[in-house]
Amino acid sequence: MIHSMAETYGKLPSEVLDKGDTFDMMVFDVVQTLKDYHNKKKDKKGDLNTFYDKDDLAKGIERIRNK
């Protein structure tokens, strides 16, 4: 992930390690996943359900409702 972030943002991997944090990594991961989703959707290739697990979503919703 460090290499991909450095390549994407035009930084050296050492700069990403020195100045980046977990929030940066989370944002990068979300953006990459969203790009993958849109590419699969546009190309009509692959199963879009691989991006989430319906059971996990249902458990999360139930957990929130019970609070």
The answer to whether the beta carbons of residues 33 and 4 sit under 8 Å apart is: no
* Global confidence as pTM: 0.63
pLDDT at residue number 47: 72
Is pLDDT larger for residue 60 or for residue 52?
60
- Give residue 49's identity as a one-letter amino acid code: N
Around 18, how many Cα atoms within 13 Å sit in the side-chain half-sphere? 5
Q: How high is the pLDDT of residue 38?
A: 87
Enter the tokens of residue 65: 């409702």
The model's confidence at residue 7, banded by pLDDT at 50, 70 and 90, is: very high
DSSP string, 24-51: HHHHHHHHHHHHHHHHHHHHT-S-GGGG
> Which residues lie closer than 8 Å to 2 by C-beta, 6 or more apart?
13, 16, 17
